[in-house]
Chains A and B, each alone.
Chain A
Amino acid sequence: MSRQVGRKRLAPQQGEVIDRRTSFEFSFNGKTYAAHPGDTIVSALAADGERVFSRSFKYHRPRGLLTASFHDPGCMVQVGDEPNVRGAHRLAEPGMAVSSQNTWPSLKFDVKAINRFAGRFLTAGFYYKTFMKPEFLWPTYQKVLRQFVHAGEISPDTPHDYYDKRYAHPDVLIAGGGPAGMSAALAAARAGASVMLVEEEHQLGGHLRWTNPGAAAELTAEVAATDGIEVLTNSVVLGRYDQNWIAVAQRDLSHVRERLIKARARTLVVAGGLIERPYVFAGNDTPGVMLSTAVRRLINLHAVKPGERAVVLTANESGDAAIADLERAGVEVAHVADARTGEDVVRVHGRKDVRAVELTGGRRVNADLLVTATGWTAPTSLLNMAGDVPVYSPKAARFLPGGTADDTVLATGGIAGDGSLDQLCEHAEAIGAEAARRAANHRYHQLAAVPTRNDGKLSKPKGTAATLPELGVRQHPELFRASTHGIVDYSEDVSSKDLHLAVAEGYDSAELAKRFTTATMGPIQGKLETINAIATIAEATGKTIAETGTTTWRPMYTPVSLGALAGRIFEPVRYSPMQRWHEQHNATPLVAGQWIRPDHYGDPAAEVRNVRENVGIIDVTPIGKLDLQGADVPKLLNLLYVNKWSKLGIGRVRYGVMCAEDGVVMDDGVTGRLGEDHYLMSTTSSGAARVWEWVENWLQTEHPDWQVHVTPVTTAYASINVAGPKSRELVSRLTEGVDLSAEGFGYMQVRTGRVAGVDDCVLWRIGFTGELSYELHVPASYGLHVWEALLEHGRDLGVRPFGVEGQRILRLEKGHLIVGQDTDGLTKAWSAGIDWAIKLDKDDFVGKPELVWQKENGDGARLVGIQPVDRDVVPPEASQLVTSRGTIVGRITSSRMSPTLGRSICLGQVDAELAKPGTLLTVHLPNGSKVAARVTEHHAHVDPEGTRQNIDTPPSQPRPHATPVARSPIAPGTKTTTIASWQVDARRSSAGLRLTDHTLLAKVGVRGRHDGAIAEALGTSYGRTIRDNGSAVVVGSGPGEWLVLGSPGGQDKLLSRMRDLVENTGEFGTVIDQTHGRALLKISGEEAADLLAKVCGVELSDAATPDGAALRTSVARLVTDVIRLDDNGVPAYFLHCERSSGQYLFDALLDAGAEFGIEVDGTPAAPTL
């Protein structure tokens, strides 16, 4: 049954967008109103006779409906806790609580409207002039001015809404879904282009919706029936950036509030149409003054009668058509002032409502509605962002594109010129076809540059450049302001008088007057007011509009919610394999870069004492680890470290310090020689990524001839430091195949062996803590198994875990520096107190010249051990060291209370002349007091002789232990099963889109020349994946880099097969087991690419990334290998990343896939590739 709500609702109109079959209620300022689906908030209110929707910003004048579009300045409202909602655009919803903004205490009675009477004092620059002096009153001014702020209210209690993001790669992106935009889209799609058509309003059609609803419906249907056009309504192109990087806000989704689309369009067609501009005269902001397009929208789209008795000022066919619409709607047209014959209006009378209109000559016509049709503004902003400078046409009385935009950006429709519907559509079709042609060319060059395509030959697109047709412009009167002054900028309450005053005060260019008066700087951003503002400035300066020029349109095209811009924030995190154990044992988490680490387990001092007395274990997995292989590794080490590496024997470990070219300490760590040409380098935890890049830089750019392959293995190993006098006893209970006696495995040595049943563990005997200690590097999947075995088998020895804080205390007691803590961006190597390591007799090493000169000059500070005289005072880190006269001579870099010594201990940097042991220093504490401290003889406060790490206790015999269990970094569900010693998820899902953990697959990395014999033997290169005859899958994962995947548990066989393959080629190559170092996930289902497009910016179309493609890119901000291996025609992607971020990636994919109904599918019993 058809219902009709609203006193001013008209009989059904041909193009109406409301659904009269139902209605619902919502509230405005506490009062209940009815609406039909399809009504905007304001159309429903107008249908009930409401005319005032807000108060203006400065003078608090009542404001009503002016444009009936998104850009209606008087229709911004608050909806629930959401401020600044465009009331003439946002659709009304059942139960919506709408209130007006900028009104206190009420819309009808606004106390601040007193500003209206004080208006002559509130002229341009009033706030700048008034609230400047005296400065001490600024806080008071701030409080007062806050009462007058623009816009609505935000609530601190509002829950964080879910916003979305996705990437798109359309051939042609069209901004504007009117007749021109639709015609261009159809032409482009028919030419084979993929098209994204973006329309700000809720329906396609543009002005046709009210000028020619039949044609609108026809074109809309044609668009819907044409393949290759993605239509986004209630969405807006926000900005165009270099190389057609285009931001689109999509608001028509049900599952999220807004989505930001980052589109890389091959061509952009700007078809934004024209925006009708208001007329400047006294009272032009009174409710009841409307633009011709506003009344036409109200009548035709929403079937609302805009008034009872109207005066129409018309200068064009839109005004003429409005007269016909008004008459059809039963509005009495009392007078028509035709501007083309010189007629004009002077002012309107009435305060909250139009009462009468005064015409030239003083005649008053009683009316409640004044309709103006005085001209158009071309919203050229997207063109301007592409380099176009608009040019004023006096004939058309508007700015037109200057034709200097980038050649990937085209314009059509009203922005480009005038014409009949047929002429506009014909122009748009030509532009759409040309956009498609340019896109095809661009696409050809892009596809030719990617290595992921299959062997299909690329054919060069045909078609030659078309001469672009031009639209003419029609004659239009230059009509901006009547004989009276009125509002130019409705959002900012800037009148033409203010602009005249600004010019008189010397702000005599458009850019200056704009900034001084804030005209065009409000929420409408110049779409309504730019031309009137420029015309007024031109008038005041006596220049022409062309001479005055337009102000610059910048992104965003319309205001956008901050939530949409923030989108989904991806922050990769990294976890060690023991993270869940730490959480279960109440570890206090420490965020260290991307890593989450245990800071301590309740009492760091007790943890320290236990290491000194018994034995402790710490999870040091984040320590950077680089696998170095090749004959030239010693050359590399000699180049990067300040010390010497040529004579490091197999099984030996050495500490090294790296400097940058400016001689500043960059990183430190130990490197061990595992085999003839095989080394393992460790770096600081925070420096792991930087050092890897640093090493690659020297190898790739300075020494490409050296035979060295570097592979990061940081998370291939779970690293556990076992420290304390009983560490040999504990480690020997679980270790097989390694002589752990003091003489068999000395200090600064390395061994490989089996720990708790796990093969291929690397054991370093080193001592950051100063105790006898072993650093165990265990294949990461077995990390938790070994950790638990150590705790179980060390129970009688008093083993306890210790955290980062305990380790920091222990190393400070021992005087070991931390790069970045005890050094900074100015600390050259001699200042770090590592003189013994610097070997200036080497021919070359990175940073050597600076260190030669530093030694000659003796400049810079020195790192020394420091102890406050008062043993109970711990000076906070960064406390200054000063002379008696207050000159700063250094600072404390580390300080703690030592549980071992029962006194405070420090490291600090002081000027070289004060670095002598015994020197008395003054420490300036943050509270202003000063304490005395003394330079110590050594950096080490505990055991400077180093006897503790050399204790000679006998090793024990290996004991029986639990069977090793391999675990993926992704937590399984409650139901698990075991495959090839891996504990895996046993859930089953038959959802359309599924996510499965495939980490257990054997993963072997191979390196070689990208175009050499190894590449030939493997049968593929970067970008493509093949199945080899041994049932493994060979992925060309990088240039000269392969990832070979095999069945679970098969890594040893695969490893030796690949080693044989490499050896047989005779080429320098390396083969490394990555099974435990990486996570491997699989997404399968028809919507897999759609899911990935939400987290990955690379184009995943079948042309660019077909079955068998392999590439590396950023997925949810994580570096990830993406390998497409379809399942019998169903798209499937394997994602391969650092093991430590596996859980993060898994969670990010589940989150992004929620809208597609993604489900976790457990690991299949026999995973296939």
Chain B
Amino acid sequence: MIQLPCPWCGPRNASEFTHHGEVTSRPDVGTATPEEWRRYLYFRQNANGWVDENWYHTAGCRRFIRVRRHTLSNETEAAR
């Protein structure tokens, strides 16, 4: 099991966190076309490499944190 670098708690086992997927940005609700909105809902980069992810530290500080993770090596970098 990998550890995630929680900026509040220090390194903790990944099982303490909930994965909230790649960082996305919410389109403007007033102007979004169905295509834009569904791209936001369902499409992800799924890169083989560095990815910015949202994680929730469910069993810790209960903060949403951003983690930059390399999907091949599982190396991580934290950002608050």
Contact = CB atoms under 8 A, between A and B. Distances in A.
Nearest to A1119: B59
A66 to B, nearest CB: 37
B59 to A, nearest CB: 4
B71 interface: no
Interface stretch (A149-157, A693-701, A826-834, A894-902): A693-701
A1031 interface: no
B50 interface: no
Nearest to A244: B3
B59 A1114 contact: yes
Contact of A697 (B9, B16, B64): B64
B8 A264 contact: no
Interface in B26-43: 26, 29-30, 32, 34, 37, 40-41
Interface residues of B, number: 32
B9 A1097 contact: no
Given A451-B10, A844-B29, A853 B61 contact: no
Interface in B4-24: 5, 8-13, 15-16, 18, 20
A264 B11 CA distance: 11
Nearest to B2: A242
Given A449-B10, A450-B9, A450-B10, A1039 B61 contact: yes
A1038 B62 contact: yes
A305 to B, nearest CB: 49
Task: Name the prevailing secondary structure of the A interface residues.
Answer: mixed
A1112 B37 contact: no
B9 to A, nearest CB: 7
B61 A1022 contact: yes
A450 B31 CA distance: 44
Contacts of A700: 63-64
A661 interface: yes
B17 to A, nearest CB: 11
A662 interface: yes
Given A662-B41, A1098-B12, A697 B20 contact: yes
B37 A693 contact: no
A848 interface: yes
A1111 to B, nearest CB: 7
A701 B63 CA distance: 10
B19 to A, nearest CB: 12
A1111 B37 contact: no
Contact of A843 (B10, B15, B30): B30
A1113 B59 contact: yes
Contacts of A697: 20, 56, 64
B62 A696 contact: yes
Nearest to A842: B29
B49 interface: no
B28 to A, nearest CB: 9
B16 to A, nearest CB: 6
A373 to B, nearest CB: 42
B43 to A, nearest CB: 13
Given A449-B5, A451-B8, A451-B10, A1112 B60 contact: yes
A1113 B2 CA distance: 16
Contacts of B29: 843-844, 848-849
A446 interface: yes
Given A450-B9, A844-B29, A1112-B60, A245 B37 contact: no
A1114 B62 CA distance: 12
Interface string A816-854: 000000000000000000000000000110001110010
Contacts of B59: 1112-1114, 1119
A241 interface: yes
Given A693-B56, A849-B37, A446 B63 contact: no
5 contacts: A243-B2, A446-B11, A696-B64, A1022-B61, A1113-B59
Listed from nearest, the 5 A-B pairs whose CB atoms lie closest are A450-B10, A449-B10, A1114-B59, A700-B64, A844-B29
Interface of A: 241-243, 245, 264, 446, 449-452, 661-662, 693, 696-697, 700-702, 843-844, 848-850, 853, 1022, 1038-1039, 1097-1098, 1111-1114, 1119
Interface of B: 1-3, 5, 8-13, 15-16, 18, 20, 26, 29-30, 32, 34, 37, 40-41, 54, 56, 58-64, 74
Given A697-B64, A843-B30, A1039-B63, 4 more contacts: A450-B9, A661-B40, A693-B56, A844-B29
